Structure 1
Amino acid sequence: MTPQLPPGSMRGENRLKLGLFGLNCSGGLTMTKAPERWDPSWANNLTAARLADEAGLEFVLPIARWLGYRGETDTEGTSFETLTWASGILAATEGISAFGTVHVGLINPVFAAKQLVTAHHIGGGRLGLNVVSGWNEGEYGMFDVPMLEHDERYAYTEEWVTIAQRIWAEEEPFDFDGRYFRLKGVLSKPKPLGDKRPMLMSAGSSPAGRDFAVRNADCLFMAIVDLEKVAGEVAALRAATSRRIGCYGSGHLLTRPTAAEAADYYHYIVHENGDWEGAEHIVAIRTQGNRSIPAERILELKERHMAGIGSFPLVGSYDEVADTLWKLSEAGIDGMAIGLVNYIDEFPTLRDEILPRLERLGLRVPHTATSA
């Protein structure tokens, strides 16, 4: 019998689903020297996840990171491995979904499929899998694993996912003779809880990444750069497939009661306390030394990475942030993964100010109304 997932899950009824993003890493999504920056101790992760669970958020999403971004803060240089992290979070919560983020080039699919099923059972079916094809050569060098050409990484990932799904579904041993894997007599038990496999997420933003997501993922995390272009991008994605694929984005929340206070807070986090050295390093990796990018664009990228590791800015008053989220929903976005400067200290603002505004806008229902 397939278990009924609780209301806080990714399959819940809220029009705009919300989650916390990056709390397993030092600094979270923010490259700042501000003293309140995020400390990813296990106690803090557990507290933040329980706050999100109690408030009715749908998910927590970790970042798979092996090397930090240097600079004065070495943001994300300290991190928990995501599958064991997700297992611990799931064991300590009741309704929220937790994702494991996996670099598929660094782990065998047979081993990973077993790990994922274990976490799926621990969480009563609330585990999801964020599939990452890889982009950071330095991290792959730590494992002595060669980085494949960009589009080929997605071919590898598709083979990896195909194997994992067969492991979860098939009751008899099978052989697999592919381009990257040649496996014999593959069989693994138990199967996912209730015969419902983990939800699959992908965050590929290139044409090859989008094509992979259209064929394989339940939801795609899109790189949102320009709010005005989101509706067209979502429409193009959904026109490419006959099945329903969820469209999600990630954003960093820097909000205060008024726009002026929010601007002052942003200036404090980024301009007064930003880790410019770390931002220089991450932008160099992201742009791969492309010298044709205008200087003003490079400066914008550095600021955006200090504020939120390149995610979409949710910066402004409480009303402005709620309005931005409404516009994203109207453009077709199904949910947002949100980074906070401090996931515990800032969470009451999200819970007590932003969520009620989203409820009044018809994007979410009060959690107490669905948690019976």
Structure 2
Amino acid sequence: MRPKFGVWALVYGSWGPFDHPEDPVDASWERNRDLIVEADKLGFDSTLIAQHVVNPFGDELDQLETWTAAAALAALTERIEIIAAIKPYLVHPVVLAKQASQIGQISGGRFGLNLVNAWFKPELERAGIAFAEHDERYAYGREWITVVRELLEGKRTSFDGKYFQVEDYQLRPVADPRPTIYVGGESDPARALVADKADLWFINGQPREEVARLIKDVAARPRDGDPVRFGLSGFVIARETDEEAEAELASLWELAEAGKARWESLVANADPKAVMFQTFAKYPHIGTNGGTAAGLVGSYETVERRIREWVELGIETFLLQFQPFEHEMRRFAEHIFPRFR
């Protein structure tokens, strides 16, 4: 199986240390437009546009808006899949389903939505939206995605739940094919939701034995329809030699140490029950969502070998971060793509 390679849109302005001399913090629409249009031309398969209303590293920093950007990128690109993240508490499922269906049509079937159940408390609480307890957020998200999925499949939908009541609702027209549903999160409620509702599960970068355990757990759960597919987040540092890559990683760690206060502030405002942050504490890394803990640091041969090891484990999609982003994205396309295509 040929793996699929995607890139994270720069919704925060950077995925590595904020003080990198060659990678200015820039979350502007213009930068993201140029980045994803180039990724499309280079042959990347997808882009993930993470969702926040305010930047979790500091509300003085810019933050790209996900769904308006997704619609625009769908119209500006030709082959890359646009994956827009969504937090259920921010948008009613009927409204979101209509937006997702429309972007699916704009893109010609190149659209997916990534369900995440929120972890950054101030984003909701300061807007007067209650930040529910961890498991309740997943119960809410389960009802939410049930309504969205039925509407995206063109079904006339009625739903009577704890959180949502929908009566005899149907959308026209609907996107064909239905937008792919991606789900993030690694707690037990998250894994149960993945088994029931997801097409593909995004797993945060971490050691192979941990990812193997997670995949085995979800694959063993009861499920209707096709098997769950699996994706992995990773921060790539690829060079001619392992030594050069490790030297670059050491340099990024020095920059990260200088900006540690921003990361500590983010963690302080996160839900302590979020498994993602518990995992991060065990496996230090550069980047977000596990970053370099996925092991994609080394020579071109080393990075190729580790990707192949992940594929053997069941990973089909890699969502990648780089720094400086544009330069390293081009390096990956030049030196890694030919090894798989």
TM-score over 0.5 (shorter chain) = yes
Could you list the runs of 5+ residues in structure 2 that have no partner in the other structure? none
Correspondence 1:217 to 2:203: no
Give the distance between the partners of 1:15 and 1:314, measured in 2 at CA.
Answer: 17
Identity of aligned pairs, percent?
Answer: 27
More deviation, 111-120/205-214: 111-120
Give the distance between the partners of 2:268 and 2:295, measured in 1 at CA.
Answer: 21
The equivalent residue for 2:186 is 205
Correspondence 1:35 to 2:57: no
Following superposition of structure 1 onto structure 2, how do residues 295-310 of structure 1 map, counting pairs within 5 Å?
303-304=284-285, 306-310=286-290
Following superposition of structure 1 onto structure 2, how do residues 48-197 of structure 1 map, counting pairs within 5 Å?
48-70=35-57, 74=58, 77-170=61-154, 172=156, 174-192=157-175, 194=176, 196-197=177-178
- Give the paired residue count: 332
Q: 1:342 to 1:326 in 2, by over 3 A?
A: same
> What CA deviation, in whole Å up to 9, does each residue of 1:175-194 have, x standing for no partner?
432110123453332212x3
Following superposition of structure 1 onto structure 2, how do residues 303-342 of structure 1 map, counting pairs within 5 Å?
303-304=284-285, 306-311=286-291, 312-342=294-324
Per the TM alignment, residue 318 of structure 1 is displaced from its structure 2 partner at its CA by 1.6
The equivalent residue for 1:23 is 10
The list of structure 1 runs, each at least 4 consecutive aligned residues, that deviate by more than 4 angstroms after superposition, is: none
Per the TM alignment, residue 199 of structure 1 is displaced from its structure 2 partner at its CA by 0.2
Q: 1:180 to 1:63 in 2, by over 3 A?
A: same
CA contact (8 A) 1:26 1:76 kept: no
CA contact (8 A) 2:229 2:316 kept: yes
Per the TM alignment, residue 171 of structure 1 is displaced from its structure 2 partner at its CA by 6.0
Determine which of 224, 230, 234 is the counterpart of 2:211: 230
Q: Which amino acid aligns with 1:103?
A: K
Give the distance between the partners of 1:30 and 1:213, measured in 2 at CA.
Answer: 28
The equivalent residue for 1:262 is 245
Counterpart of 2:326 in 1: which secondary structure?
Answer: coil
Give the distance between the partners of 2:236 and 2:59, measured in 1 at CA.
Answer: 17
> What CA deviation, in whole Å up to 9, does each residue of 1:306-346 have, x standing for no partner?
44453334222222111111111111111110011133221
Give the distance between the partners of 1:62 and 1:322, measured in 2 at CA.
Answer: 25
Q: 1:319 to 1:76 in 2, by over 3 A?
A: farther
Q: 1:220 to 1:135 in 2, by over 3 A?
A: same
Q: Which amino acid aligns with 1:278?
A: R
RMSD across aligned positions (CA) = 2.6
Could you list the runs of 5+ residues in structure 1 that have no partner in the other structure? 1-13, 360-364, 366-372
> What CA deviation, in whole Å up to 9, does each residue of 1:121-172 have, x standing for no partner?
1100111010111122111113311122212212211111121223234465
- TM-score normalised over the length of structure 2: 0.88
